[in-house]
Chains A and B, each alone.
Chain A
């Protein structure tokens, strides 16, 4: 559908160019033919003689009117040409507008589909977490209780310790899946965002190897958001860890913050109500990601990491937390030069919910 419209539109403008070229050629040929004809007939001589023979025809006046007519027609043609050019410009503008609107709609549709898929995954994760947490409760409570007894045979104790460790590992993973499903359940409070962001970055500095340079461009001092410090810390740590991973431990990591009203396009694409938002950008100079990775980035348990220590929950948790803050996260750009993640967070009282 889209391809068809574009191809027929190119055909149309190409056709116009061909028609113009043909007209010019026909015009030039006709001019040469007429010139040849007039010269071979000795036209001016004929005209002169005719005018002398038929004084009564008023040929002088008729001849004088010819250049006047030519000038007027040239002026008229020039006006029409300008008009056509203006129309063309407007047509082009309208076409661009249509294309932009179309692209915006496509982007919004993709975003909506992704959001719905993540919502479904969130419900699934939440439901699973509920059941699993119930099952983990007796496993943890009873092994801890039993381990307190000093009558246990050493091999029983060792096995029980293994059961407890495995259950606690399970609890941690379920906790992360739950964070994806609906935030961490921690309380939001009104806090000064820029200051808290700086704190969170300081706390997360430990994930940076000395070969990664950190660049902070933080504005928007004094403005507040309804969020939770611990969650912000988790978001920043996860994003910084990912950036370091994508840069193979070497490069520049830039974190920038400012605050502004979001555009109409941002409203549609991120499904956010109009208003004032913090815009947090996390940019790295890493390897970027493929379109496929980009589409599944926030899916729980999606990872491209080979080592077992990455389960692929980092960005799912970030997504869950930012949703719970009524904000949005997206990939602003990603190429071989690096990746930029964009996060929008409502300014406290700046957005009508």
Chain B
């Protein structure tokens, strides 16, 4: 099972996804935005970062950039809810270009999210 850093600004979404990930045996550290995620990196030592794309302070796109620089091996899952500013197609394309390993459209399906994380862990091992 993996150590996961979950970056998501919406509290209820964070609660639900944390519960999902914990119930399938992962250990989860939560962060409400990109800055908090970077601060939590050294203590959490995550195998996988699951991040929202749009967030208030340091959004997912920027977070992916920063993390790719500092942790090239890290596995990243980006979730996008669709576009309020960027259109979703552009955001997804951008997240992929910047190096997210998996890009998913919200609401993400429980089983698909878990399966993708399993794959990433297997790849990393």
Tell me whether chain A's interface is mostly helix, strand or loop, or mixed.
helix
Interface residue tally of chain B, by bracket? 20 to 34
Q: Given A142-B16, A145-B19: A127 and B84 within 8 A (CB)?
A: yes
Assembled-state Cα–Cα distance A184/B92 (Å): 10
Instruction: Determine if B12 and A126 form an interchain contact, defined as CB atoms under 8 angstroms apart.
Output: no
Please choose the segment from B42-50, B56-64, B67-75, B103-111 that sits at the chain A interface, where 4 or more of its residues have CB less than 8 A away.
Answer: B103-111
Interface stretch, picked from A38-46, A174-182, A236-244, is A174-182
What 0/1 pattern do residues 92 to 125 of B give for CB contact below 8 A with A?
1100000000000111111000000000000000
| Interface hub of B54, B82, B90 (most chain A Cβ within 10 A) | B82
Tell me whether A175 and B105 are in contact (CB under 8 A): yes
- Across the interface, A130 reaches (CB within 8 A) one of B15, B54, B90, namely B54
Which residues on the B side are within 8 Å of A134 (C-beta)? 10, 13, 81, 106
Contact B13 A130 (CB under 8 A): no
Q: How far is the CA of A186 from the CA of B15 in the complex (A)?
A: 29
Number of interface residues of A (CB under 8 A): 31
A138-B13, A141-B107 known; 12 other A-B pairs, CB under 8 Å? Answer: A130-B81, A130-B82, A131-B81, A133-B107, A134-B10, A135-B12, A138-B12, A145-B16, A145-B110, A175-B105, A181-B82, A187-B93
Top 9 A-B pairs, shortest CB-CB distance: A182-B87, A138-B16, A129-B82, A133-B81, A141-B16, A126-B83, A137-B107, A133-B106, A130-B82
Q: Please report A residues at the B interface, Cβ cutoff 8 Å.
A: 122, 126-127, 129-131, 133-142, 144-145, 167, 171, 174-175, 178, 181-187, 324
What are 5 A-to-B residue pairs whose CB atoms are below 8 Å? A126-B82, A133-B106, A136-B106, A138-B12, A178-B88
